[in-house]
């Protein structure tokens, strides 16, 4: 099963290279990603039913991986759907030539493959290879438009992320070095084994390894101050790719940090690594704030908001109580769903207005009677207002912070979130309200895109008032991954 999951995107990628026709490519990728969703979900179901999926020495899927795996598959599917309309419009506008379309689908599927590889690999080394793979797969997607800005973004993206990730590799090597003496060559990077023997490892080396891994993978997650590539890449990529980057790639990178964290905390105790994660989390929220307050580009605003939300997840993981972890992964789900949906919406809007500058987008309520309210809903959700999903997880995280007696951190975060809310609302109200510029024609931007957006918004609203039983169960299982190792 996991092999099929890994093979599918590769197959679709290679199939994509054989065609140039837009419709054929679309059909292939939709059918393909639908199959991927089914496969991924069936694996997840198997995992959540209680049996871990293991294949050989290198593949291991537990609840944590399964959760993010499902997110990748689902959002991948939504992105594929959305890409159809989005790319068709871009083609019509002559943003790129049709023969490059196959490369889009090729890299998109490679990207999905690498993310899957991150999640299913049982080996920290392979995980590193896969994380670096995600960078390589997306670098050309970020620069897909071949414009000055997008190339610049792609360049910064690949350089900064590669540098960052090299540190992660160094961390991995240090861990390997620490482990070889205990476990011997073969199991030395298998994180399950490592977790088991963690207490015998050299704590000094572990500390060093974690610092390097945190800085390295943290770069990929977009934790400040290593986040600098993120607003550039997320704002310059085609919107469906931005959705994918913000929605799931960050989570995959975060997953890598968690794996290290789990190993290291076994040996060094909980405080060391979780406090570092917490620190970076708070720092990320702090750094995101001013950029959101004075932001001029809507996609950059969303990117900074992603930094903020990764910070919140980091804080929650750093807090580390059961409730906090529950909140962290609920937040991960919520953020993935909401942010990807927002990038869809903004994609439509920026195509319609032919700009991403907030100041030039006005009167959305009038011009786009569905996208305007949708942007408002998504924006409010991402800013943490009820009755939308992110409010729920933020509330859980804050309350767990208070419950642990970490008043200062929790209050600080509550205040930061509030201030960020004002920044987001300021930008949103600039866009949705007011009188639209006369150059913009009234009406929606294609029915298909509207439908995709509306579908993607459904969980945003539903999860805001109601957490279904199965999600509750899943989150319980994911949190137990953290606790499980210590027993």
- Per CB under 8 A, the segment of 13-21, 48-56, 199-207, 453-461 that binds another protein is 199-207
- Per CB under 8 A, the segment of 40-48, 67-75, 420-428, 448-456 that binds another protein is 420-428
Residues composing the chain: 487
Among the listed residues 276, 161, 277, 278, the one whose alpha carbon sits nearest the alpha carbon of residue 227? 161
- Minimal distance in Å, beta carbon 130 to another protein? 8
The answer to the question of residue 154 lying near another protein (CB under 8 A) is yes
Binding mask 7-46 for another protein (x = CB under 8 A): ----------------------------------------
Residues within window 209-238 making contact with another protein, judged by CB under 8 A: 211-212, 214-215, 219, 225-226, 228-229, 231-232, 235-236
- C-beta separation of 209 from 171 below 8 A: yes
Report phi then psi at 456, rounded to 5.
Answer: -70, -20
In the chain, DSSP finds a helix count (H) and a strand count (E) of: 20, 2
The answer to the question of residue 91 lying near another protein (CB under 8 A) is no
The answer to the question of residue 126 lying near another protein (CB under 8 A) is yes
Binding mask 368-407 for another protein (x = CB under 8 A): ------------x----xxx---xx--xx-xx-xxx-x-x
Looking at 411, 437, 470, 483, which residue binds another protein (CB under 8 A)?
411
The smaller minimum CB distance to another protein, of residues 392 and 474, is found at 392
- Per CB under 8 A, the segment of 11-19, 88-96, 128-136, 337-345 that binds another protein is 128-136
Q: How far apart are CA 20 and CA 9, in angstroms?
A: 18
Q: How far apart are CA 69 and CA 45, in angstroms?
A: 11
Q: How far apart are CA 299 and CA 356, in angstroms?
A: 7
- 3 state DSSP class of 388: coil
Burial of residue 125 (number of CB atoms within 10 Å: 0-12, 13-18, 19+): middle
The answer to the question of residue 485 lying near another protein (CB under 8 A) is no
The smaller minimum CB distance to another protein, of residues 15 and 127, is found at 127
- Per CB under 8 A, the segment of 31-39, 90-98, 172-180, 344-352 that binds another protein is 172-180
Looking at 66, 68, 160, 315, which residue binds another protein (CB under 8 A)?
160
- Minimal distance in Å, beta carbon 186 to another protein? 7
The answer to the question of residue 153 lying near another protein (CB under 8 A) is yes
Among the listed residues 122, 211, 203, 112, the one whose alpha carbon sits nearest the alpha carbon of residue 164? 211
The answer to the question of residue 415 lying near another protein (CB under 8 A) is yes
Residues within window 40-69 making contact with another protein, judged by CB under 8 A: 58
- C-beta separation of 2 from 56 below 8 A: no
E runs forming strands in 150-248: none
- Minimal distance in Å, beta carbon 34 to another protein? 28
The answer to the question of residue 298 lying near another protein (CB under 8 A) is no
The smaller minimum CB distance to another protein, of residues 74 and 178, is found at 178
Total residues at interface with another protein (CB under 8 A): 105
Pairing of strands 59-61, 53-55: antiparallel
The smaller minimum CB distance to another protein, of residues 196 and 207, is found at 207
Looking at 159, 442, 454, 483, which residue binds another protein (CB under 8 A)?
159
Looking at 146, 200, 447, 486, which residue binds another protein (CB under 8 A)?
146
Residue with tokens 């919406």: 345
The answer to the question of residue 427 lying near another protein (CB under 8 A) is no
The smaller minimum CB distance to another protein, of residues 66 and 287, is found at 287
The smaller minimum CB distance to another protein, of residues 176 and 352, is found at 176
List of long-range contacts for 400-409, beta carbons under 8 Å, 24+ apart:
400/316, 400/319, 400/321, 400/323, 400/324, 400/326, 400/327, 401/315, 401/319, 401/324, 403/321, 403/323, 404/319, 404/321, 404/324, 406/319, 409/278, 409/282, 409/315, 409/319
- 3 state DSSP class of 384: coil
Burial of residue 95 (number of CB atoms within 10 Å: 0-12, 13-18, 19+): middle
The answer to the question of residue 434 lying near another protein (CB under 8 A) is yes
Q: Per DSSP, what are the bridge partners of residue 171?
A: none
Query: H-helix or E-strand containing 55?
Result: strand 53-55
The answer to the question of residue 96 lying near another protein (CB under 8 A) is no
Give the dihedral sign, CA 288/290/293/294. Answer: negative
- Minimal distance in Å, beta carbon 27 to another protein? 28
Residues within window 437-466 making contact with another protein, judged by CB under 8 A: 465-466
Residues within window 301-360 making contact with another protein, judged by CB under 8 A: none
Residue with tokens 């000055």: 148
- Per CB under 8 A, the segment of 9-17, 27-35, 156-164, 306-314 that binds another protein is 156-164
Looking at 102, 299, 300, 352, which residue binds another protein (CB under 8 A)?
300
User: What is the phi-psi region of residue 384: left when phi exceeds 0, alpha when psi lies from -120 to 50, beta otherwise?
Assistant: left
């Amino acid at each position: 099963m996991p092999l099929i999951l890994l093979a599918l995107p590769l197959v679709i990628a290679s199939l994509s290279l054989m065609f140039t026709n837009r419709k054929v490519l679309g059909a292939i990728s939709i059918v393909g990603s639908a199959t991927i969703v089914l496969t991924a979900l069936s694996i997840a179901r198997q995992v959540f039913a209680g049996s871990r999926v293991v294949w050989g020495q290198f593949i291991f899927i537990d609840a944590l991986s399964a959760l993010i795996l499902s997110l990748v598959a689902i959002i991948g599917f939504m992105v594929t759907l959305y890409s159809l309309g989005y790319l068709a419009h871009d083609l019509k506008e002559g943003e790129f030539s049709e023969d490059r379309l196959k490369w889009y689908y090729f890299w998109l599927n490679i990207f999905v493959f690498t993310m899957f590889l991150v999640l299913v690999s049982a080996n920290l080394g392979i995980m590193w290879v896969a994380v670096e793979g995600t960078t390589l797969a997306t670098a050309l997607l970020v620069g897909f438009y071949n414009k000055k800005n997008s190339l610049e973004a792609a360049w910064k993206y690949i350089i900064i992320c590669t540098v960052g990730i090299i540190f992660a590799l160094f961390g991995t090597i240090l861990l390997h070095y620490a482990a070889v003496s205990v476990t011997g060559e073969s199991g030395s990077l298998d994180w399950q084994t490592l977790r088991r023997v963690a207490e015998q490892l050299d704590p000094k080396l572990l500390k060093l390894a974690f610092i390097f891994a945190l800085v390295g993978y943290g770069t990929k997650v977009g934790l400040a101050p290593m986040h600098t590539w993120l607003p550039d890449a997320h704002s310059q990529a085609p919107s469906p790719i931005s959705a994918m980057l913000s929605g799931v790639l960050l989570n995959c990178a975060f997953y890598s940090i968690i794996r290290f964290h789990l190993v290291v905390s076994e040996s060094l105790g909980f405080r060391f690594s979780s406090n570092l994660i917490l620190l970076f989390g708070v720092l990320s929220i702090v750094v995101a704030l001013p950029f959101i307050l004075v932001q001029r580009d809507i996609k950059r605003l969303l990117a900074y908001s992603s930094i903020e939300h990764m910070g919140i997840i980091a804080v929650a993981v750093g807090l580390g109580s059961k409730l906090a972890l529950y909140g962290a992964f609920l937040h991960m789900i919520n953020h993935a769903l909401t942010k990807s949906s927002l990038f869809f919406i903004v994609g439509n809007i920026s195509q319609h207005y032919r700009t991403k500058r907030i100041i030039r987008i006005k009167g959305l309520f009038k011009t786009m009677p569905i996208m305007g309210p949708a942007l408002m809903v998504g924006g409010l959700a991402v800013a943490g207002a009820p009755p939308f999903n992110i409010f729920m997880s933020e509330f859980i995280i804050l309350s767990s912070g208070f419950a642990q007696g970490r008043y200062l951190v929790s209050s600080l975060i509550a205040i930061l979130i509030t201030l960020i809310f004002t920044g987001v609302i300021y930008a949103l109200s600039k866009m949705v309200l007011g009188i639209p510029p006369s150059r913009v024609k009234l009406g929606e931007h294609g029915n298909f895109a509207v439908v995709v957006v509306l579908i993607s918004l459904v969980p945003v609203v539903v999860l805001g008032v109601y957490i279904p039983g199965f999600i509750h169960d899943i989150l319980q299982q994911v949190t137990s991954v953290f606790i499980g190792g210590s027993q």
